[in-house]
Amino acid sequence: MTPEVLVYPDRPALIEAALALIIERILTAINERQSCTIALSGGSTPQPLYAALAGADLPWQQIQIFWGDERYVAATDPDSNYGMTKRVWLDLVPIPAANIHPMPTGLAQPQLAADDYDRQIVAHFGSEAGSIPVFDIILLGMGDDGHTASLFPHTAALSVRDRLVTLGDKDGQPRLTLTFPIINQARSVIFLISGASKQTALAEIFSPTGDPTAYPSRGVAPQGELLWLLDAAAGEKLKSEGD
Ligand code: 6PG
């Protein structure tokens, strides 16, 4: 499907719009399949969105929460994506603990953790061998360098095609990340991007030609919907001439 770019005047408007769009897609998934599987992004941008979701009246029993990537730290670490989401959202809603699937970060070897989460996803979706599970929603952020999830520029994770979860590498720091094959299998992929520091990477990503290993977000091309939700500060350079 053709990507859709939606630019909002400021960050509060971006979060308000993202909240409505995500709730709509959660309810559609539940209406159609009695369940919604969503993989969350980390970082700072989605925090107000997650806080707003804590106030939403949703059928939490039918929502399954996964993560798109995770820093390899304990849940109590300030850098933990799971820890942040739990604090601002999941601890505040009546979602069953069994519906929350954090990436394991307590194993001695991060690769074993990646393999474990791969198995958890396959088990949850009951996927046939060789088929790729289909998330209803995958929420993504984008770094100033154009990375998404923990798919960083010029790293081995970008070329992994035979796993659902692999090791990311942020300047030598281990990460766990979904791979392009499972991201691109999703029914709906939604980027949530805010701030002027994202302008350059967005211009590269939306240019007609470009190196996806330098700007990994270029590699996101789902079989389903792709929404780019930006505030004006981030989307400045995407405006066509004369806007
Ligand atoms: C992470 C994220 C990562 C994030 C971008 C943008 O674990 O950090 O999943 O991909 O979305 O780095 O981060 P900000 O929202 O903080 O700019």
Which atom of ligand 1 lies closest to the CA of 151?
Answer: 10
Confidence of residue 154 (pLDDT cuts 50, 70, 90): very high
pLDDT recorded at residue 129: 83
Name the token pair of 121: 């996803």
pLDDT recorded at residue 240: 54
User: Does residue 42 have its Cβ closer than 6 Å to ligand 1?
Assistant: yes
Kindly report the protein residue whose alpha carbon is nearest to atom 8 of ligand 1. 43
pTM of the model: 0.97
Cα 240 to ligand 1 centroid, rounded to whole Å? 27
Q: Residue 217: which residues within 8 A CB-CB, separation 6 or more?
A: 140, 142, 146, 147, 148, 191, 201, 205
Q: Are strands 173-178 and 188-193 parallel, antiparallel or unpaired?
A: unpaired
Which atom of ligand 1 lies closest to the CA of 71?
Answer: 7
Output the 3-class SS for the chain.
Answer: CCCEEEEECCHHHHHHHHHHHHHHHHHHHHHHHCCEEEEECCCCCCHHHHHHHCCCCCCHHHEEEEECEEECCCCCCCCCHHHHHHHHCHHHCCCCHHHECCCCCCCCCHHHHHHHHHHHHHHHHCCCCCCCCCCCEEEECCCCCCCECCECCCCHHHHCCCCCEEEEEECCEEEEEECHHHHCCCCEEEEEECCHHHHHHHHHHCCCCCCCCCCHHHHCCCCCEEEEEEEHHHHHHHCCCCC
User: Does residue 231 have its Cβ closer than 6 Å to ligand 1?
Assistant: no
User: Does residue 153 have its Cβ closer than 6 Å to ligand 1?
Assistant: no
Asked if the model's pLDDT at residue 114 lies above 60, the reply is yes
Residue 129: C-alpha distances to residues 168, 190, 224 (Å):
24, 27, 22
Average pLDDT, the chain: 96
Higher pLDDT, 211 or 191: 191
Asked if the model's pLDDT at residue 89 lies above 90, the reply is yes
